[in-house]
């Protein structure tokens, strides 16, 4: 029988149509017959020596080798939002708008054109996490920066345009309904039960174990009960923290290890699938809220939204979370 599950944090429904689904192995991407990437690409703006193609360099993290950096933060050459202007609203007839205020930055994760996170050392991934945190804290100091989204697109289906390993940060001067809705559902749960819904999810997943993929002292890594797509993963801090800005130095190391391990498993078992990940964190002035809880969400691009999903807002997932977790945990 098919099944419909509800996300406890958002009340959003997901349909599990396993009758038309695939076995986990069938989600493996077809073998890529294209030429492997080289360490350096002379046409890539993110490769060392091509700095003239960059608008500027905001931050550079030195590498272990002399004269070689490990990570860089640069402005996006084609930004979705720019720091000019302000956040005041204007009207045009019955409509409301605002200037395109914000910031759009790129984190170049490595000087090597062909080195994805799954192939990096934990120490190299920790530098990426440290860079995320440094930019997040600095950008949150500005009153106009109401929301900060840190995300990574990997592969064409995930929306990437440059193959050199990189992540992005977009800052906005407003908070969209998608984020406010998630906040409000968490607030309603807290008002009713006096507890954080995400902490309750953590407690249950730790005891139930059916969807857990990885665990250490700082984080639980699991396939959510109402995952919207095959092999969706949440990496969630065990300690209650509303903001990514509150992460400790020790937890940065644990997050780096967990993120690298999960991406390595997806790379190996699904043949380097396209994916997005995003750090879901509290907006400006919400860092101390007792009902909010940040987490990193990974969403492999293994299915395509169709008419019903677009029209209803309900996702159809052909794969059960328990099956996905079991597949990721099995040794090959």
The pLDDT tens digits of the residues spanning 44-61 come to 999 999 999 999 999 999
Model pLDDT, residue 25: 77
Model pLDDT, residue 240: 97
Other Cβ atoms less than 10 A from the Cβ of 46: the count is 22
Determine the average pLDDT of the residues in 153-175: 96
Angle, vertex CA 25, rays to CA 24 and CA 27, nearest 5: 75
Task: Work out the pLDDT band at 33, boundaries 50, 70, 90.
Answer: low
Model pLDDT, residue 34: 66
Collapsing DSSP states into helix, strand and coil, what is residue 188? Answer: helix
Q: Is 143 part of the annotated catalytic residue set?
A: no
Structural domain contains residue 219? yes
- Asked if residue 21 has pLDDT above 80, the reply is no
Q: What is the mean pLDDT of the chain?
A: 95
Structural domain contains residue 29? no
Determine the average pLDDT of the residues in 212-233: 98
Determine the average pLDDT of the residues in 79-106: 96
Model pLDDT, residue 311: 97
Structural domain contains residue 152? yes
Q: What is the DSSP string of 60-117?
A: EEE-SSTT-EEEEEEE-SS-SSBSSS---EEEETTEEEE--BEEEEEEE--S-TT--G
Structural domain contains residue 27? no
Determine the average pLDDT of the residues in 106-120: 97
Active-site choice (133, 166, 267, 293): 166
Structural domain contains residue 84? yes
- Asked if residue 179 has pLDDT above 90, the reply is yes
- Asked if residue 65 has pLDDT above 90, the reply is no
Determine the average pLDDT of the residues in 27-40: 81
Tokens of 222: 């699991």
Q: What is the pTM of this model?
A: 0.96
Which residue did the predictor score with more confidence, 30 or 104? 104
| CATH number of the domain where residue 93 is located | 3.30.428.10
- Asked if residue 138 has pLDDT above 80, the reply is yes
State the total domains in the chain: 1
Structural domain contains residue 31? no
Range of 97's domain? 3-22+56-329
Task: Work out the widest C-alpha separation in the chain, in whole angstroms.
Answer: 62
């Amino acid at each position: 029988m098919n099944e419909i599950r509800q996300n406890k944090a958002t009340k959003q429904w997901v349909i599990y149509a396993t009758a038309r689904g695939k076995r986990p192995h069938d989600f493996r991407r077809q073998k890529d017959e294209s030429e492997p990437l080289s360490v350096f690409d002379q046409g890539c703006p993110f490769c060392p020596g091509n700095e003239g193609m960059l608008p500027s360099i905001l931050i550079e993290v030195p590498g272990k080798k002399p004269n070689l950096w490990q990570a860089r933060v640069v402005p996006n050459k084609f930004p979705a939002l720019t720091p000019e202007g302000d956040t005041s609203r204007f009207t045009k007839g019955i409509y409301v708008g605002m200037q395109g205020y914000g910031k759009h930055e790129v984190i170049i994760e490595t000087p090597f054109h062909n080195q994805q996170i799954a192939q990096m050392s934990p120490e190299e991934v920790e530098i990426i996490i440290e860079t995320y945190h440094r930019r997040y804290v600095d950008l949150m100091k500005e009153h106009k920066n109401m929301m900060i989204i840190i995300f990574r697109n990997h592969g064409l289906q995930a929306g990437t345009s440059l193959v050199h390993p990189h992540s992005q940060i977009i800052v906005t001067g407003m908070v969209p309904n998608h984020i406010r809705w998630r906040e409000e559902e968490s607030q309603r749960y807290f008002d009713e039960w006096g507890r954080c819904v995400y902490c309750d999810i953590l407690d249950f997943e730790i005891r139930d174990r059916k969807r857990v993929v990885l665990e250490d002292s700082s984080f639980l890594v699991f396939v959510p009960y109402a995952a919207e797509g095959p092999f969706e993963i949440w990496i969630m801090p065990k300690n209650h923290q509303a903001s990514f800005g509150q992460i400790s130095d020790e937890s940065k190391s644990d997050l780096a290890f967990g993120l690298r391990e999960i991406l390595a498993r997806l790379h190996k078992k699904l043949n380097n699938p396209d994916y997005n990940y995003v750090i879901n964190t509290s907006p400006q002035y919400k860092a101390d809220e007792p009902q909010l809880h940040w987490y990193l969400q990974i969403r492999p691009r293994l299915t395509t939204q169709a008419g019903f999903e677009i029209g209803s807002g309900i996702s159809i997932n052909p794969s059960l979370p328990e099956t996905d977790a079991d597949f990721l945990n099995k040794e090959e």
